[in-house]
Structure 1
């Protein structure tokens, strides 16, 4: 939706995503990063006083649905943030590098940035967004920009402006 708040927390982001993208993210994590999925599931389960055996009787889709329901809660924002970052850094490397290259942000070739810039020019941010949109949905690009904003206490004004002004960048 246009005017999405520029500083959403991870639990708010996952709750705002379309069901299809939620399932894509958790399906990828469950399949391609099994240990991370299991750790998140057991960590959230332990906080709910559930033993790991509780999940043994659940199907893969039931495990995803259970974890997703809890990821939308503020109490599990840290777990949600880690899983979203993992999905972006593992499943969406070409998208991340397209943005970083166009925005002229130095990275390791896999989307990992060690030295974040103080400022990002609006023109370069727009070029990065355009590069990402060539191969990715507006919702995926919007999610990445929101997550990128969390890397600095105040984010970057140019990204916040793009999130507010570009109608193709919407969640849900």
Structure 2
């Protein structure tokens, strides 16, 4: 899946959590995202900023669901996952044996293949410890990091009912 396809299938509460996190922790990223998305739709950012927050969020989500917003959508989600969900990322990397900086940022090379048995155990553990919606989104975006995804992860995302986006 591409990022705009993920946003089309995602539970809006995940996007709201992401946007809330940016507004609370890195308002500049939020403002830049609104400005970039507004510009891509040939709108002035102030047009969006004047809307009530629920309307802003709805407009942002709708815009992130367009193919033209693919790059900004992927960047936003990655930034939120890397900064706001470090414990989840680190737990996944630990479970998969992927070298990271202790915060979930990969320090070495990503593996060419993911071990299916390790992946099953990792998903089970993550689903118990973290919000399943965020786990699902993370795994979807992690799979984007390898051209064509990883076979084991793609299969898991397609077959495991717990990992459905909506």
Q: Does the TM-score normalized on the shorter chain lie above 0.5? A: yes
Distance in 2 of aligned mates of 1:56 and 1:138? 31
Aligned: 1:37 with 2:20:
no
Distance in 1 of aligned mates of 2:39 and 2:157? 36
DSSP-derived class of the 2:163 partner: coil
Q: Assess if the C-alpha contact under 8 Å between 1:138 and 1:170 holds in 2.
A: no
- CA shift, 1:163, in A, is 1.2
Structure 1's 116 and 57: CA in aligned 2 closer, same or farther, altered over 3 A?
same
The residue that corresponds to 1:76 in the other structure is 69
DSSP-derived class of the 1:99 partner: helix
Q: Render the CA deviation track for 1:76-121: whole Å, top value 9, x for unaligned.
A: 0111101111111112111111111011111111111131111111
2:125 to 109, 127, 131: 131
The residue that corresponds to 2:143 in the other structure is 149
- CA shift, 1:138, in A, is 2.5
CA RMSD of aligned residues (A): 1.5
Higher relative contact order (CA closer than 8 Å, sequence separation 6+): 1
Q: How many residues are aligned here?
A: 165
TM-score by length of 2: 0.91
The residue that corresponds to 2:110 in the other structure is 116
Distance in 2 of aligned mates of 1:36 and 1:128? 31
TM-score by length of 1: 0.88
Bigger helix fraction: 2
